[in-house]
Structure formats: C-alpha cells, structure tokens
Structure 1
C-alpha cells in the first residue's frame, strides 16, 4: 500500500512535469492528488521541503529501478543493448514525468541544500551502477551517464522519444567505450 507521503510526492512530481517548477504549489499537488486542501502542507510544511521530498522520492524510485535493471542484465534474456534502450525508452515514455522533473529540478539554481544532497546521492547511485555493470572507472561512468542523459534530454526537447534514434545512439555509444563493446 502506498503511503500518503508517496501519494503527495508522486503527485508533486506530476505537477512539475505538467506545470513546470513555477506551478509547484501545495494547492496544485492537493488538487492533482484529489486530496483535501492542506494535505500536502501537512506532509511538507514548506515548498523547499516539498522539493526535497520530490528529489528524495525520485532517488528512491530510481534506486528501485536500478535494482530491477541489474537483475535484468544478470538474467541474460535480452542483449545488453536492448535492455539499455528499453531503460531509456521507459524514462522517455512511461516514467517521463519522473525524468522530466528530475532534470527540471536539477537545473534549478535555487535548489534547497537538502534537495541538492538528494540529487547528488541519486547521481552517485547511477555512476556506481555504471561502474559495476560496465566495469569502468568513475570518470568513464560519469562520462557515460552525462552522454546518455544528454541524449535523453535532447529527445525530451524534441518531443520525439524515437526508439530507433535511441537505439542508434546507444549502439554507437556503447561500442565506443572499450570495456562495454563486448557486452553490447
């Protein structure tokens, strides 16, 4: 069963994705979640606390997804390239709100310190995941994450989420990284 905090935070993620960071208010979250006015404020007293809650929730959901992704790679039922493309496409379609909100809040220069910490932890988890999975050093993992996120942001901006484009990018990119060329 999903907690009230998760309902509020998941709704807040959707508000940012639908209305932008400026549209993020306690009332907007209450309305989208179909909760009584004041419900969001009872969970997150301030807007900064709400933003921090969003970044923490995104990190939690991303961690769960990375665990499932690790299991998928270990199961070895699909080629690594297909798994990577599926992951990117999921973020550009099914989990678009989360990805969009993560990017929008990450770009906010006024991100509260606690939210900045949550963002940094989230990015560190991605880099640790890539280090383990691709058997690369931290610098290469950072480059890989930055490149893939850049491609995905480009897809968001274009509004395309074109699987063929994502697949071509990932194929070319993964084969350009020496340690991953054999895995793709």
Structure 2
C-alpha cells in the first residue's frame, strides 16, 4: 500500500512536470492528488521540505528501477544496447514526469541544501550503478552518465522520444566506449 507521503510526493512530481517549478504549491499538490486542502502541508510543512521530499522520492524510485536492471539483463535475453535504449525510452515516456522533474529541480539555483544533498546522493547512486554494471572507474561512470543524460535532456527539450535516434546514439556511444574504456 502506498503511503500518504508517497501520494503527496508523487503528485508533487507530476505538478512540477505539468506546471513547472513555479507551479509547485501545497494547494496544487492537494488538488492534483485529490486530497483535502492542507494535506500536503501536513506532510511537508514548507515548500523547501516539499522540494527535498521530491528529490528524495526521485532518488528512491531511481534506485528501485536501477536495482531491477541487472535482472533484466539476465532474464530478457536482450543485448545490453537494447536494454539501455529501453531504459532511456522509459525515462522519456513512462517515467517522463520523474525525469523532467529531476532535471528541472536539479537546475534550480534556489534548491534547498537538503534537496541538493538528496540530488547528490541520487547522482552518486547512479554513478555507482554504472561503475558496477560497466566495470569502470568513477570518472568514466560520470562521463557515461553525463553523455547519456545529455542525450536524454536533448530529447526532452526537443519534445521527442525518438527511439531510432536513441538507438543510433547508443550504438555510436557503445562503440566509442569499446575503444575508450579500460576496465577499473
């Protein structure tokens, strides 16, 4: 069963994705979640606490998704490139609100210190996952994340989730990695 906190936070993620960072208010979250007025402020007293809660929830959801990825590699029989494309497509379609909100809040210069810490923790977990999966050092993991994330942000900005473009990017990127990476 989903907790009240998760309902509020998931709704807040959707508010940012639909209305932008400026549209994030306790009332907007209450309305989207179809909760009585004041429900969000009972969970998160301040806007900063709400923003921090969003960043923590995004990290939690990202971690859950990343933890399932190795099983997909083993059970699906798909090549790594196809699974990577599926993962990117998921973040650009099914999980678009979460990805968009993560990017928008990460770029916010007024992000509260606690939210910055949650963002950094999330990015560190993504880097650690890439280090384990690709068997690369921390610097190369950041390079991989920056490259793939940059492509995904470009798709987000363009308003597309063009699978052939993402497949082409991954093919070229993995070919580059094959020549550039020395295992850690």
Which residues of structure 1 form unaligned runs of 5+? none
Number of equivalenced pairs: 181
How far 1:76 moved relative to its partner? 5.4
Contact map agreement 1:127 1:141 (CA 8 A) in 2:
yes
Q: Secondary structure at the match of 1:177?
A: helix
Gaps of 5+ in 2: none
Answering whether residue 15 of structure 2 is matched by residue 15 of structure 1, we say yes
CA displacement, residues 77-107 of structure 1 (integer Å, 9 cap, x when unaligned): 1110000000000000000000000000000
Aligned to 2:30: 30
* 3-state SS of 1:78 partner: coil
1:76, 1:25 → 2: CA distance? 41
Cα deviation 1:113-143 (Å, max 9, x = unaligned): 1100000000001100110101111111100
Shift of 1:72: 1.0
TM-score (normalised: structure 1):
0.96
Query: Which residue is 2:123 aligned to?
Result: 123
Give the Cα separation in 2 of the matches to 1:95 and 1:16.
13
**1: CA distance between counterparts of 2:180 and 2:39?**
47
Give the TM-score taking structure 2 as reference length. 0.96
Stretches (4+) displaced over 4 A: none
How far 1:160 moved relative to its partner? Answer: 1.1
Residues 62/165 of structure 1: CA separation in 2 closer, same or farther (3 Å cut) = same
Root-mean-square deviation over aligned CA pairs: 1.3
